[in-house]
Amino acid sequence: MENTPKTLQEAMIYFADFENCKRFMVDLRWADGKATCPQCGSEKVAYLENARVWKCYGKHAKAKFSLKTGTIFEDSPIGLEKWLPAVWMLVNCKNGVSSYEIHRALKVTQKTAWFMLHRIRLAVQSGSFVKLGGVGKEVEVDETFIGGAGYNMHAKRKARMKAGRRGGSKYGKTVVQGLLERNGKVHARVLGRMDAEKLRDTVRNHVEPGTALMTDAIPVYRHIGKEGYDHKFVDHAVEYVDGRVHTNGIENFWSLLKRGIGGTYIAVEPFHLFRYVDEQVYRFNTRTEFNDSTRFEFAMDQIVGKRLTYSELTGKEGLSQAF
């Protein structure tokens, strides 16, 4: 879009004017710039200036709709002049942005800011079914554990976590699996705990046969080469790199993810972890082909047709993803 701001400062100033917000959202939602009813698709609508809503003359309930209707912003009392800068900040801050930062910058409560950020994370979730790799391409596969450091735990808690851990989870931490196509995109999935079949299924579902598959010496993938992959592994007890065989790329992604969780968000509950992983995946996958402005626009293109209520977010209506 021609008039989209290029920096955060420009975005704060530009979107402070509702007319700019309206123009941006209309261009985003309706290609020809003419609003249509999100419920029936009718073009017989009239804009009510004072209420800042449209009225549809079709015969159905909820005849009035706004710029937020049918998006992640729906039913939010927060104005677009605060929503749009919040989206900009989340998708462009390399290590993420905390709810307290949004609370201070946009003058909303911390609880509201927390809810806003989770709704934005829903928008940037990738639903792509495009597989990574292919003949002649290389994909790194690795797992990491997310949770408090064992050396920081009280001795009794550490002993309790060790005794109660299941499926190889380290000190009761949450397991995240990642797949990185070299010079390409990353896919990451929260597993909750180590599950050999789930680990292999992720590879089967997201990596093309014929791909050169790079892993560490974990036994889970030992026989996956029989399924059409050129599997190579490096034993980290001996070395970290053997020619082109290494997992340094996906390890770099883990460092970015943990820097955001440990340095920005501080405390992340396991049942919300997948949202923070999706956020980091989005920023990582748009790191080279987008700048701040186009990364913001790409995220905004995904806001329609998605909804997250506070009850769903807090588990009162069931979580969006089960481990």
Per-residue pLDDT tens digits for 227-267: 999 999 999 999 999 999 999 999 999 999 999 999 999 88
What CA–CA distances, in Å, run from 228 to 17, 177, 209, 223?
Answer: 56, 20, 5, 10
Rounded Cα distance, 35 and 30, in Å = 6
Q: How far apart are CA 202 and CA 176, in angstroms?
A: 11
Residue with tokens 């705990």: 193
Report whether 217 contacts 141 (CB < 8 A): no
Is 62 part of a structural domain of the chain?
no
**Residue 124, in any domain of the structure:** no
Does 3 fall in a domain?
no
Q: Whole-angstrom Cα distance, residue 142 to residue 253?
A: 10
Residue among 83, 126, 131 nearest 302 (CA): 126
> What pLDDT, on the 0 to 100 scale, is given for residue 168?
46
Burial per residue of 41-51, b for 16 or more beta-carbon CB atoms within 10 angstroms, e otherwise: eeeebeeeeee
| Residue 194 near residue 175, CB atoms below 8 Å | yes
For residue 318, the tally of other CB atoms under 10 A from its CB is: 9
Bridge-based pairing of strands 53-56 and 64-65 is antiparallel
**8 Å CB contact between 307 and 298:** no
pLDDT band at 169 (very low <50, low <70, confident <90, very high): low
> For residues 167 and 302, which has the higher predicted lDDT (pLDDT)?
302
**121 in a domain, yes or no?**
no
CATH code at 214?
3.30.420
pLDDT at 320: 42
How far is the C-alpha of 133 from the C-alpha of 224, rounded, in Å?
Answer: 15
pLDDT over threshold 60, residue 205: yes
Number of domains, the chain:
1
Question: Which residue in 23, 71, 65 sits closest to 41, CA to CA?
Answer: 65
Query: What does pTM read for this prediction?
Result: 0.88
Q: How far is CA 219 from CA 25, 46, 99, 202, 283, in A?
A: 50, 64, 40, 16, 31
- Has residue 239 been placed in a domain? yes
Quick check: 158 pLDDT over 90? no
**Which residues span the domain enclosing 229?**
138-268
Quick check: is 224 in a domain? yes
Nearest C-alpha neighbor of 52 from the set 33, 37, 67: 67
Q: What is the pLDDT of residue 155?
A: 80
Q: What is the dihedral of CA 166, 167, 173, 178, to 10 degrees?
A: -160
Residue 322: what pLDDT? 35
How far is Cα 263 from Cα 98, in angstroms, rounded to an integer? Answer: 10
Average pLDDT over residues 72-101: 96
pLDDT at 188 over 50: yes
